[in-house]
């Protein structure tokens, strides 16, 4: 069925270390993979996205990689800072409907000093 | 502020009452989405519009829920005969067709 699985559910890293969050999806027709960051009490904020015609995209300390064969994609945050602490959600359009995003269950990232 | 805006930000209602929420999308966006988010979960798709046409509704959307986008601009989401299980954050997002979706700040509904 329509499914996006996200791991881990919680992640604690020390400031300056890297963080990696992984998602798998079920629909091989999915072609767009965004990542959202949500701070407590705030809206989900789009931080990076990737389309299926590329395998990797980078924006400063944030990168996303996509493996279409394995149907998984990952968020990489390098040189983590306390302000990176938030819940991160991956998403994918499932059932062939490009606009309807199905979200993962979220990863709570805690960056400690 | 040219982002997606939602009103009200918070709503407390008694069980059985009707509530209506409003979403104003980014002005040039022709697609508008409603999602629901409960504590500790990701946003859950409810319905979406392209211009004024409602193109898809989730199976989760009971007949107590109705959404409109009469002129292809702002949208309203109405919940009739609210139940405690309706308590959640209701998020609106907008995009161009095939484009990135941007969320509003949400309306937090509490049914008592």
pLDDT in tens, A38-66: 999 999 999 999 998 889 999 999 999 99
Q: State the count of interchain CB pairs (< 8 A) between A and B.
A: 51
- Report whether pLDDT(A97) > 80: no
Name the residue facing A101 among B45, B55, B105 (closest C-beta). Answer: B45
* A91 chain-B contacts, CB cut-off 8 A: 42
Average pLDDT on A2-13 reads: 93
Average pLDDT on A92-101 reads: 73
Distance (Å) from the C-alpha of residue A21 to the closest C-alpha of chain B? 15
- Report whether pLDDT(A99) > 80: no
Please indicate if any CB of chain A lies within 8 Å of the CB of B74. Answer: no
Is the Cβ–Cβ distance between B109 and B8 less than 8 Å? Answer: no
Instruction: Judge: B42–A97 Cβ closer than 8 Å, yes or no.
Output: no
Please indicate if any CB of chain A lies within 8 Å of the CB of B14. Answer: no
Q: Write out chain B's pLDDT in tens, 112 residues.
A: 579 999 999 999 999 999 999 999 999 999 999 999 999 899 999 999 999 999 989 887 899 999 999 988 999 999 999 999 999 999 999 999 888 999 999 999 999 9
Instruction: Judge: B91–A45 Cβ closer than 8 Å, yes or no.
Output: no
Please indicate if any CB of chain A lies within 8 Å of the CB of B102. Answer: yes
Mean residue pLDDT across chain A: 93
Considering chain A, what percentage of its residues have pLDDT values greater than 90? Answer: 80
DSSP type of residue A5: E
- Rounded to whole angstroms, the Cα distance separating B87 from A95 reads 28
Average pLDDT on A14-43 reads: 94
pLDDT at B60 (0 to 100): 79
- Rounded to whole angstroms, the Cα distance separating B96 from B29 reads 5
Instruction: Judge: B33–A99 Cβ closer than 8 Å, yes or no.
Output: yes
Question: Which tokens is A48 given?
Answer: 């990076």
Task: Convert B64-85 to b/e letters by CB count within 10 Å (16 or more is b).
Answer: ebebebeeeebbebebeebeee
Name the residue facing A104 among B42, B50, B91 (closest C-beta). Answer: B42
Instruction: Judge: B101–A46 Cβ closer than 8 Å, yes or no.
Output: yes
Binned at pLDDT 50, 70 and 90, residue A75 comes out as: very high
Binned at pLDDT 50, 70 and 90, residue A2 comes out as: low
pLDDT at A94 (0 to 100): 76
């Amino acid at each position: 069925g329509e499914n996006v699985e996200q791991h881990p559910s919680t992640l604690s890293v020390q400031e300056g270390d890297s963080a990696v969050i992984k998602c798998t999806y079920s629909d091989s027709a999915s072609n767009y993979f965004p990542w959202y960051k949500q701070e407590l009490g705030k809206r989900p904020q789009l931080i990076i996205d990737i389309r299926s015609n590329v395998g990797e995209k980078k924006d400063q300390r944030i990168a996303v990689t996509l493996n279409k064969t394995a149907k998984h994609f990952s968020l990489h945050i390098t040189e983590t800072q306390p302000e990176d602490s938030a819940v991160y959600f991956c998403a994918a359009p499932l059932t062939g409907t490009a606009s309807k995003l199905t979200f993962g269950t979220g990863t709570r990232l805690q960056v400690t000093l | 502020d040219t982002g997606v805006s939602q009103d009200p930000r918070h709503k407390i209602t008694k069980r059985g009452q009707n509530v209506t929420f409003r979403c104003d999308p980014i002005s040039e966006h022709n697609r508008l989405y409603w999602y629901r988010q409960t504590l500790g979960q990701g946003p859950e798709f409810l319905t979406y519009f392209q211009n004024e046409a409602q193109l898809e509704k989730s199976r989760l959307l009971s007949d107590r829920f109705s959404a409109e986008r009469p002129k292809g601009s702002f949208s309203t989401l109405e919940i009739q005969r609210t139940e405690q299980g309706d308590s959640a954050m209701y998020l609106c997002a907008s995009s161009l067709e095939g484009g990135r979706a941007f969320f509003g700040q949400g309306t937090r509904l509490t049914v008592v």
